Amino acid sequence: MKEETPYAALSPGVVQDALEAVGILCDGHVLALGSYENRVYQVGVDDDVPVVVKFYRPGRWRDEAILEEHAFALELAAQEIPVVAPKELGGRTLHLHAGFRFAVFGRRGGRWPELGTSTEREWLGRFLGRIHAVGRAGRFLHRPRLSIEELGHRARDTVLAGDWMPDYLAAKYADVTEALLGEIAARASDWGGAVQGRIHGDCHRNNILWTDAGPHFVDLDDCQTGPAMQDLWMLLAGNMQEMRVQLRDLIAGYEQFLPFDRSELALIEPLRALRMMHYTAWLARRWHDPAFPLAFPWFATARYWEEHYRSLEEQLGVLDAPALQL
C-alpha cells in the first residue's frame, strides 16, 4: 500500500467485509463520517442500530499504542465517564482485515457544543476533571508525551523542507518560527513543571458531542501524556475577558474532582503557538493523501501562507504579553 494513497483499497465493500469478519452483519448502508487522519464510517446493521468503524491510518501507530488508547477509553467508561469506547468483539478491540487495522464503536449522536452558559462549561469541566483523575492513576508506556520538539521544531522543519510557500515568505517564516520557539522554550520548558498524566490530547469542540444528557467525548486517537491545560485551552474562544470567564467556569467544574494548578495558565499561549505550527505541518505531511487537497484546497495558495505568517507574527506578540489570569 503506497504511503501517499493509504486508503486506496478501502472500498465500501471492504468496510462491510471487515465488519462481517468480526460477526457484524451489515445492511449495505455505509456513510463516511468527517475524518482525515483515519477513515471513519457509520455502517447499517441488520435488525440493529448502526455501528461506527474506524480504520487507522496505516503506519501511524504501533498496535501497542492503539491498544493503550482502547484500554484508556475502556477504563474511563468503566468509571461511567461519557467516553465512546471500542466494542470488544471476540475478546479483542483491535482487528485486522485486508491489511487495515480497525475498531468498532457504538453510534452516539449529539450536537456541536456551544458552551454558551456557565452551566455547560462547568459540566464539561467536571468530566475533564474526572478524566484527568483517572488518567493520573495509571500511565502510558507506548503512547507519546506532549512535546515541544514534536509540535514545534519538527513541524517547522517539515514546512521548511518543502516547497510550500512563496519564496518571499520562506525567510520570514523561518525567522518568526525561530523566535516563537525561543519564547516557548522560555515560558513552557518541561511544561513549567506541571503535573503530567494521561489526557485526551486533542480536546477541541469537534471531539465533543452534546445531548440533553450532557457531553460525551469521542476520538481518543491522540491521547498522550501531558499537562491538564492541553485539554482545556482549545475549549476557549473570544477575547481575553471572554476566555477568562470561560476558563473560570471550566476550572470550577474541574476542581470538584481534581485540583488545578494555576501555574498552567502560562501554558495557554505557548500551546496555541505550537498547535498553529503543528497543524500546518500536519497538512504538509498528509498532502499526498488525495483527501487532503480536496478538503483543504486553500493550503496550496499564497494567501494561506501570507495569513499563516501574519498569525504567527501576531502570536509572537501575544507571547510577549502577560499570561491570562483568573
Query: What are the catalytic residues?
Result: 202, 219
For residues 22 and 89, the answer to whether their CB atoms sit within 8 Å is yes
59 dihedral zone (left: phi>0; alpha: psi -120 to 50; beta): left
- How far is it, in rounded angstroms, from Cα 96 to Cα 308? 39
The residues facing 208 across adjacent strands are 217
CA 243/CA 156 separation, integer angstroms: 28
What does the alpha-carbon distance between residue 229 and residue 132 come to, in Å, rounded to a whole number?
11
Residue 173 and residue 261: Cα distance in Å, rounded? 34
| Nearest one of 229, 34, 241, 206 to 115, comparing CA atoms | 206
Q: Helix 240-254 and helix 118-135: axis angle, to 10°?
A: 50
Question: Given phi > 0 = left and psi -120 to 50 = alpha, else beta, which region is 109?
Answer: beta
Alpha-carbon distance of 37 to 291, in angstroms, equals 10
Cβ neighbours, 10 Å, residue 107 = 12
CA triple 265-210-214, angle to 5 deg:
85
Strands 196-199 and 100-106, sheet pairing: unpaired
User: CA-to-CA distance for 58 and 1, rounded, in angstroms?
Assistant: 9
Matching residue, cell 490530547: 201
Question: What does the radius of gyration of the chain's CA atoms come to, in whole angstroms?
Answer: 21
User: How many other C-beta atoms lie within 10 A of the C-beta of residue 246?
Assistant: 20
